Amino acid sequence: MSSSRASFVALIVVGLLATGCAAPGDNYLSDRGYDLTDVIDVKWSGSWDSYGLGAKVEATNYLGAGVGYGAANDVDEKYGRRWDHSDRNVFVHMLLWGYDGPANDPGASRGDDEFYVVGINGWQERRPAMFQRWRVGGEVIFMPLNLGLYVNLAEIGDFLTGIVTYDWAEDDHIAFGTGL
């Protein structure tokens, strides 16, 4: 790389960093760091009164398949920077048909309303922003453990657009762990 090209690239990088740090209370580097952590979504429950055996994979929140049955208590799930808690979730999957969501308990908070028919999610009442539902990953329920790991495709886009200070997810000033 020639010295003039290197100088130009350095000037662009400094300009982007300066622009991102210009607003009062704004912190460009921490926002990009949070955007990077938003890419990985997790779901878990370690309640000892949970039970079941099963697994599912999702191409997005709208397309997936799995097998198994179980119920998990105190389920926490991360969508980007936001978190959701469900008191009791039911996990029932048979290949391309399945449900993973709150038990029919009036005291339970709204959770993961996912109902698959022929692999396509037919009912989605979940509250995260629509773009945050585009994620790829899977979930396993084995006796008392319910674990899920996903790559949030929309949050990859938010990280990339954030480099040029465009906050696609509108989450740069949202505290980590904020509810849905």
> What CA–CA distance (Å, rounded) separates 77 from 110?
12
More confident residue, 50 or 130: 50
Task: State the DSSP code for 168.
Answer: T
144 and 64 both lie in a single domain:
yes
Rounded to the nearest 10°, the torsion over CA 79, 83, 89, 92 is 10
136 and 81 both lie in a single domain:
yes
φ/ψ of 4, rounded to 5, equals -70, -35
Q: Of the ranges 32-46, 96-110, 128-142, 166-180, which is most confident?
A: 32-46
- 26-73 confidence digits (pLDDT tens): 688 889 999 999 999 999 887 888 889 999 988 877 778 889 998 888
143 and 55 both lie in a single domain:
yes
Identify the CA nearest to 30 among candidates 21, 39, 22: 21
55 and 144 both lie in a single domain:
yes
130 and 167 both lie in a single domain:
no
68 and 124 both lie in a single domain:
yes
124 and 140 both lie in a single domain:
yes
99 and 128 both lie in a single domain:
yes
Number of separate domains in the chain: 2
89 and 119 both lie in a single domain:
yes
Identify the CA nearest to 130 among candidates 34, 75, 61: 61
11 and 91 both lie in a single domain:
no
User: Residue range 113-124: average pLDDT?
Assistant: 46
17 and 97 both lie in a single domain:
no
Q: Which residue bears the tokens 């698959």? A: 116
Q: Which amino acid is at 93?
A: H
Reduce the DSSP state of residue 109 to 3 states and report it.
coil
Domain with 25 in it? 3-38+156-179
> What CA–CA distance (Å, rounded) separates 84 from 79?
8
78 and 47 both lie in a single domain:
yes
- The pTM of the whole model exceeds 0.85: no
